[in-house]
């Protein structure tokens, strides 16, 4: 796996969630994703960045253009040092929320991406990585 471009953004306020959406859009366009796939990955980015802010207490997002020799795509890594998630299986369920949301952010982001990985440790934080491939 090769990274061709990367950008690191801090998520500390609602305005930063908008910046993550814009940076993701711009890289998805450059990578050549079609409009529907751009829209899907930007929407997933918005959900995950908001989780980083609201539940993780803020954090960082790494936005990368990647290539594995066969294909190219966009990889997003959301990292926070918040409280972590006690039950990941439960958190991933459609409709589960510990707040006032719809409980669709994590499960929806997984559906919208091609690859989805989540790691979380109580008291240490949460990392979510998604990839959207071109084509």
Partner 1 sequence: MERIPILRMGDFLLVTIQVDMHDRVALALQDDLTNRIVKNHARGVLIDISALDIVDSFIGRTLANIASMARILDAQTVLVGMQPAVAITLVELGISLPNIRTALNVEKGVSLLRAEVENNIMERDANYDI
Ligand X SMILES: Nc1ncnc2c1ncn2[C@@H]1O[C@H](COP(=O)(O)OP(=O)(O)OP(=O)(O)O)[C@@H](O)[C@H]1O
Give me the residues that bind Mg ion (CB under 5 A), please. 51, 101, 105
Stretch that binds partner 1, among 3-11, 82-90, 97-105, 125-133 (CB under 8 A): 97-105
Q: What angle do CA 23, 14, 63 make, to 5 degrees?
A: 25
d(CA 86, CA 79): 16
Q: Tokens at residue 41, please?
A: 């990955």
User: Which option in partner 1, Mg ion, ligand X, none does residue 31 bind, with CB closer than 5 to 8 A by kind?
Assistant: none
According to the binding rule CB under 6 A, does residue 104 interact with ligand X? yes
For residue 3, give every residue at least 6 positions away whose Cβ sits within 8 Å of its Cβ, in sequence order, or none: 64, 65, 66, 75
CA dihedral 88, 93, 99, 101 (to 10 degrees): 140
Interface residues with partner 1 (CB under 8 A) are: 14-15, 17-18, 21-22, 25, 35-36, 38-40, 42-43, 46-47, 50, 94, 101-102, 104-105, 107-108, 111-112
Interface residues with ligand X (CB under 6 A) are: 47, 51-52, 55-56, 80, 82-83, 85, 91, 96-99, 101-107, 126
């Amino acid at each position: 796996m090769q990274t061709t471009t990367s950008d690191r953004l801090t998520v500390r306020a609602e305005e930063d969630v908008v910046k993550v959406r814009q940076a993701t859009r711009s890289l998805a366009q450059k990578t050549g994703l079609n409009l529907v796939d751009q829209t899907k990955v930007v929407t997933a980015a918005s959900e995950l960045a908001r989780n980083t802010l609201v539940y993780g207490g803020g954090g960082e997002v790494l936005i990368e253009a990647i290539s594995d020799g066969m294909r190219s795509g966009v990889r997003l890594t959301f990292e926070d040092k918040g409280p972590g998630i006690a039950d990941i299986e439960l958190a991933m369920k459609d409709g589960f929320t510990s707040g006032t949301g719809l409980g669709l952010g994590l499960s929806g982001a997984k559906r919208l991406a091609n690859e989805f990985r989540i790691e979380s440790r109580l008291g240490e934080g949460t990392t979510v990585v998604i990839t959207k491939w071109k084509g």
